[in-house]
Chain A
């Protein structure tokens, strides 16, 4: 085939740890034709990004290509010299990174970074490239395209940066672009905008692309073909529609099935019962700026209230008010009908004990120098006053509760655990205080879908056994669908809508809730196309949010 642009054969990649080289990728083949988009999916650790970078002939520090070939338009990038690779990178093969905010150099304006590639590769002059950059910004529907390039990265929002980075990748009109999870860090409404822009521009310039993501619904919108990876091996590859409707491998089927977990609905709340936690007319401010405006909601015993909204909507601030970390400016928090002191400093130990937290990043929420036994043992001793053998026994009970073998895990350090296991330790630490109420702050958003489902099932089981109440902060509506009883939708520090879950997912709802719901990608490959037709290209993402 003459129109084959990228041909990877028997690619094996190794990573170094403790002075030995261990396999990361165990022999992968990729074929990509001109103008074709290949979706590459898998969980974290599957090696998607490593393969994506290897397609550019690039490996990160401590990683090496041990075998195989990466032929780009007849040049083997594995054997090519550094200067040959440099002449291709940026010019004929470009890269769009996961976090545009981290991947733009904070010291230079966007347009300076945009024009750098074309000028250094001798493709065009600085002035030509600048004009072209503005044209690309316009095509990617960035607001005020003439002016936005002359800002620094920190002055531009995340979704806009991601599109500016796509424009930068397009600067030399490359034949191939590697998109490495370009929308993972974005809100759903912003994600649509970026997806639509990327898809358009790739079609307009007939650019080939490898689109890496862990989100099946996203890849369904973007790719012609999908390749599924698992722990460095290829599971299967097929064109998008076949893959979605008739996956052959069990692993692929299990990925598809994750979205089906849903708890049975609970009976309606007894309206006369005293809620466990009641947020009453809370207005809170950072400095002089109010970030929450007159927020009220109740959380009843044994129920899960999902607080939904995009970044900056005030979800986490509400949690900070409940825990007393940020005393509200107006309003108060009631616990079992009793008003709590506003600041955590004035709360006594039993009041503190009743409300515990589980954090988004289990990695940073655990002290890396303390063993699991010490981490869980501390609240056991602090709140429950247990010492010595009793304390150990209680910690072991808690470990059993979160389904980790007590004797095996007691002395381990956080670095010896997987992401899902760390999150389980976070749950055990919260349980150690024997609270009635737990705030779960985006606890599954850093986890893979299968692992996240395990955590959700565990939380559901604990709720049934212990009668816990959860405040579940999330931006992921699939999670809401699977675990929530009641839903509170927030936007810009206001509660826009609240009520039982089944009413929330049924029309009619508030326009913003509607926007949020309809922005969640669906597995249907025509979803994005249909949605764009329905809403019109100028009424998606930030533009749609702004109209409210």
Chain B
């Protein structure tokens, strides 16, 4: 079983600041981390490998320092990693990103046939959730989104049983291998990495590919050139203003609150007054 996990380096949006003038993310204000959903994707691959055996490869696109997220994936338990890094990829939107990643996946698939691709549900800096399904479309394999459990992998039948989260419940489906999953955080808990993984990751040097390493690449589909997305407007939503604060002793507070509620029409209507 060969699983490829696609991972992305993102700024930690929990602490990132927004430049009030340009409304863009001030990337220097936050450390770069492995996209949390992608960490769950790697962990999901590790859990599957425990049952089926095989190899986990991770794939990322980004500047050279994005090797850090590949090393992090090795800590979680991946076997090897590939980074595609080239100026030609810069400025890519989800369409161009899925194209570039699919080219890398073709190359990986040639060397070792891929049975499953796992992505995080979305990246926390863009929140689009489009790259995973985009790759599936380009590779012509079924995309299965919002995955919260991979219950059974049958390598002989080339099938996999998957539980999906829907807005009104769950869906249990069987998909054919190879397929692409995008996973929710609920799928697992990231385990505390064992020491041998840590040592392996510290030593690991990912393979780095440039555009010239790929065959049959249409350069017009890469980077900014291949990105039809236009950002129309960006704004920071205003902070919600705090409501009125009621102070005083408990009795006073209750009385004040009752006064306010009584003043508002249709909030409290006394039965007797009707």
Q: Do A and B bind each other?
A: no
| Interface residues in chain A, defined as those with a beta carbon under 8 Å from any beta carbon in chain B | none
